[in-house]
Structures are given as C-alpha cells and as structure tokens.
Amino acid sequence: MALLFLGFSAGLPFLLVFSTLNARLADVGVETATIGFFSWLGITYSIKVFWAPVVDRVKLPILDRLLGKRRSWILLAQAGIATGLYLMAHVDATAAPEMMAICGLLVAFSSATQDVAIDAYRIEIAEERLQAALAATYIFGYRLALLVAGAGALYLAEFWSWQVSYEVMALLVGVGMATVLIVREPTVNHFAAAQDIAEKIQHEAGKRTHLNPRLARFIGWFYAAVAGPFLDFFRRYKELAILILVMVAVYRISDIAMGVMANPFYLDFMGFSKTQVADVTKIFGFFMTIAGSLVGGVLVVRYGVRKILLTGAIMTAATNLLFVVLAQYPPNIATLALVVSADNLSGGIANVALIAWLSSMTSAAFTATQYALFSSLMTLPGKFIGGFSGIVVAGFGYGEFFLVAGLMGIPAILLAWFMIRKGDRLDALAPRNEAAEDESRRSDQAKP
C-alpha cells in the first residue's frame, strides 16, 4: 500500500512539467518556439545521478531525526513539488514565461529528487523476492497519477481554469506527504561500507602533512559519497559490470524509440481520430500496462527475475514487429486495440522485471546513487536514438521504422540470455547475499 501511494506521488508531477504544461502554454498563446525550450525541464530526470550521492549521504537537519533518512528526503522533495505547482498555478505564462520556467524547474528538480529517494526506499523496505511485487504496485500508482495529471488536469482546465487545475494538483501532493508520515523507515545500515571507504581515504589523505585535518575528512566523505557507489559496483561485479551497464542501456531502446513515432503513426499515417487514439492508447492501454505489470510481478516471483527479463525483451521486440504488420493494412480500430494491448502488456512485464533486477544489484550503502545510475542509463540511449526516428520515417516509411525498432531489441535479448547463463555467479555477487554473509561471520565471531 505504501508503494501504491508513493508511486502516485512520483507520477503526479511528471506530466505537469511535460505534455500537460505544453498544452497549457499552447492554450494561452505562448509561441511554439518557446514551448520547445520548456522540454529542457526533462533533462533533470536524466541527470539525477549527479545529486543522488547527496540524497544517499547527507542527513537533513531535524527531519532526519524525526523521520529517518529516506522519508525525510521524500518529504522535502514533496514540499518542493507542492510549492512549485502552486506557484505555477498563479504565474501568467504569456507575461512571464521565464518565471513559469523557474517554477517548472523547481517541480522537475524536486520530482527527480523524490524519485531517487523513493527508489531507495522501495529497495530497502523489503527483501529481493518482493521487489517485483513492489515494482508492480509502484507502477500502478505511477500510471494512475499520469491519468490524473494528464486527462484529469485537462478536464479541470476545460471546466474551470488552469489556475484551478494546478492548485488541485498541488493539493494532491498531500497524498504522498501523508503516506510518508504514516509508513515506517527502512531498517538498513546506509553507512557501513561507505564509512569504511571514507575512513581509508581520510587516513591516506592525513599522511599528506600539508593537508588540513578538516580537508582530509571532507576528501574522505566526498570520495565515499561520489566515487564510493561506482567503486563498489565495479569491485563487486568486476568484468561483468560493463556488460550489466550495457544491458541496462539497451534494454528499453526498442520500446522508447518506437514510442516517439507512435502518435504520429496513429493520427497522420493510419488516420485515426484523436478520440479513438485516446480511448485505445490512453484508457485501454493504461489497463493493459497495469495488467502486464501485475503479471510480470507474479512471473518474477514464480520463475525468477532473469528468465522474465529475457521474456520481456523478446516480447518487446516482437510487439514492435506487430506494428510493421499494422502499417500494411487499412485502419481498423479492433486491430489497433489488439496491437496496443500486446505492446502495453509486454512493456508492463519487461518494466517490472527490469526494475526488480536492477533493485537486486544495488548495495545497501549506496542504494540511491547506484539505482539513479541505472535509471538514468535506462532512458538516455533510447531518448537520444529516438530523436532520429523522424528522419527514418521520412526517408523510408513507418513499416521500415518499426522493423528497425524491433531489430534494436536483439542486443537486449542476447544480453538477457547471457545474464541467465551467468546466473549462479551473479547470485553469489549479489549485495544482499554478501551482506548476509558478513552478518553471519560477525555473529559467529561473537559466539563464545
């Protein structure tokens, strides 16, 4: 239940600084070129790894003592989101677009920070076998929030005003804030491994007599906070580390690249109306994605995360090929619904498996930073390649584009199969297994 409401809190601000904000700006007469610049707000979600070490290592005054590390950071981020949305509600975008951009940046930065803290909370609150179920529930809450911040915000703006719409959205941030105050803090030692690194670096720095002791301590802290998460990951997985990161980077390329051209394909090429596209892809597609997430959660628990990771990669590439078939025939709403169903169902399964797999590889001492690295890699390559999708469509056509998008899923399939082959070794290197062994050794040493 906690992850359901925290997922809602994470998803709520996303569209309010993207498509919903773009609709608002266009509706009030802001120039198209200016609207394009607002898309840069999304960069904050892709670079959150740069300040994730602060979320991992810094204790917030007062709040940390009252709530604990993870809950205090989530609550602070939610306060930033609510403040930014309320200010956006009262800014005249035509008269002061710069102020709207600043308020939007506050929302986006706070939202990305909240994502870092919630991901860490989710990973630390339960053992590995429950991560898929937690991810499925989180995705359900997230998708529900996208409906509220998308269609819900537009309805409010249509019947009342954009000011009322954004005020209501700011009020709904209270759902996540109430959740944070109710749930318990994870009982995880965030500092053990990081503190060991910090002390070693401080000791080495202290040997340099020209360095001030305070500077030596800061160097140790900074090294543990920034370099520690990456050193821990590469030390743990050694030569497999690069392949794991490549796997993370390519797993969603096929899905993301295809998604860029989906709406133009439905509207311009197939000739469906906006209402038909909304009904099939937004409403019906929403429930199919949720179904896929729930099925994925059950399958991961039943068969293990790596097998479902491979299944999700195969299904994602295969459903892209269904769009190749769809492009060869006249528009048919039933066929569209069938293809969209398969696409969203496979996407839900693949996404849950990927989140559960990445969660299992994060170290308790660096949860926020390591998962932020993974989540940034998850989307950056796909977004970059997706930028060239229009060129491919213009030069070759939609059928050829979807074929290329499907073929881009082959590296993910091969790497997922490789991870299954290396399953025993990956299990032995898993952070939680290592932590359990360390705890067992300490327990044995304490015995008389």
Joined together, the tokens standing for residue 323 give: 């769009």
- CATH architecture of the domain formed by 1-182: Up-down Bundle (1.20)
Give the span between the Cα atoms of 281 and 418, in whole angstroms.
34
Residues 255-302 pLDDT 10s: 877 776 776 777 777 777 766 777 777 778 778 888 888 888 888 888
241, burial (CB in 10 Å: exposed 0-12, middle 13-18, buried 19+)? middle
Digit-coded pLDDT (tens) for 379-437? 777 767 766 777 777 788 888 888 988 899 999 999 999 999 887 887 777 765 444 44
Q: What is the pLDDT of residue 177?
A: 94
CA–CA separation, 278 vs 292, rounded Å?
19
Predicted TM-score of the model (pTM): 0.70
In the CATH scheme, what is the homologous superfamily, with its name and number, of domain 238-436?
A: MFS general substrate transporter like domains (1.20.1250.20)
